[in-house]
């Protein structure tokens, strides 16, 4: 089974591009992806719940909803997150440092709640390793999935190595392959920390040049490594199933 652990119903690009459940499932079918984790960003937490719930209800066998946390110092969003996870059955929380600070006084209550309810946090930390390290150590039972091996489209090998090191010393830290352009670092990570702490994601849909070609390129990135069957199966699906307790 192939599971895409990083799919947007709404992106954080300049146009705040949105994609329907139908477009996502069409792309999955064309590429050979069985299930996708979906969420919306660049919107309120409440609206992210509405969008992900609608998508899930349109295709409950193919889509897994996450809630997008957009807290602030003045307004925590834990009640909305709790409702999504406890009442609606959402399976995880998305956090993005590009839209708000991930300082402890803002984001730590969200991670603490995710730890309490045993759901993962998918975090785009935009390279801020010190914040991820703090969260991993303060909340050792929280499952922290670091998007893009630390930073989207990063060509900084030393930075990527720091995130691999973090995953090697913190059992609760996982690395997401979406947006990784230095593909050899994925192989190096497998050699250093094993395949159990790496999950496949596309960060799609994107029309570059179209949604199908984009997702195929991300999947081929893993296939091109020619991993042994166990490692490939772990990364492409088994790990995220274990993290989500499915």
Q: What tens-digit pLDDT sequence spans the chain (246 residues)?
A: 999 999 999 998 888 999 999 999 999 999 999 999 999 999 999 999 999 999 999 999 999 999 999 987 767 799 999 999 999 999 999 999 999 889 999 999 999 999 999 999 999 999 999 999 999 999 999 999 999 999 999 999 999 999 999 999 999 999 999 999 999 999 999 999 999 999 999 999 999 899 999 999 999 999 999 999 999 999 999 999 999 999
Give the pLDDT confidence score for residue 209 in this predicted structure: 95
Cα separation, 180 vs 64, whole angstroms: 23
pLDDT of residue 74: 65
CB 6 within 8 Å of CB 203: yes
pLDDT number for residue 76: 75
Count how many domains the chain has. Answer: 1
DSSP string for residues in 162-194: HHHHHHHH-TTEEEE-TT---THHHHHHHHHH-
Residue 72, domain extent: 3-244
User: What CATH number did the domain enclosing 23 receive?
Assistant: 3.20.20.140
Q: What is the pLDDT of residue 33?
A: 98
Q: In the Cβ-directed half-sphere of 105, how many Cα atoms lie within 13 Å?
A: 2
Q: How many CA atoms are closer than 13 Å to the CA of 97, on its beta-carbon side?
A: 20
Residue 177's closest CA among 167, 185, 166?
185
Q: Which helix (H) or strand (E) holds 221?
A: helix 211-223
Length, in residues, of the chain: 246
């Amino acid at each position: 089974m192939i599971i895409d652990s990083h799919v947007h119903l709404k992106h954080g690009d300049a146009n705040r591009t949105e994609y329907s459940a139908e477009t996502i499932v069409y792309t999955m079918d064309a590429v050979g992806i069985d299930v996708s984790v979906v969420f919306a960003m660049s919107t309120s937490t409440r609206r992210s719940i509405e969008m992900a719930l609608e998508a899930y209800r349109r295709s409950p066998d193919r889509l897994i909803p996450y809630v997008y946390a957009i807290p602030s110092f003045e307004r925590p969003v834990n009640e909305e997150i709790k409702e999504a996870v406890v009442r609606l059955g959402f399976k995880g929380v998305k956090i993005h440092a590009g839209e708000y600070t991930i300082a402890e006084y803002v984001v730590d209550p969200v991670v603490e709640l995710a730890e309490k309810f045993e759901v993962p946090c998918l975090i785009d930390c935009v390279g801020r390793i010190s914040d991820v390290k703090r969260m991993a150590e303060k909340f050792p039972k929280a499952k922290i999935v670091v998007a893009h091996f630390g930073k989207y489209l990063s060509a900084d090998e030393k930075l990527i190595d720091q995130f691999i090191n973090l995953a090697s010393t913190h059992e609760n830290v996982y690395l997401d392959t979406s947006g990784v352009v230095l593909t050899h670092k994925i192989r190096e990570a497998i050699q250093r920390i094993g395949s159990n702490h790496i999950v496949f994601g596309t960060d799609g849909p994107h029309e570059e040049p179209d949604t199908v070609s984009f997702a195929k390129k991300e999947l081929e990135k893993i296939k091109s490594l020619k991993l042994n069957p166990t490692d490939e199966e772990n990364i492409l699906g088994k790990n995220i199933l274990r993290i989500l307790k499915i």
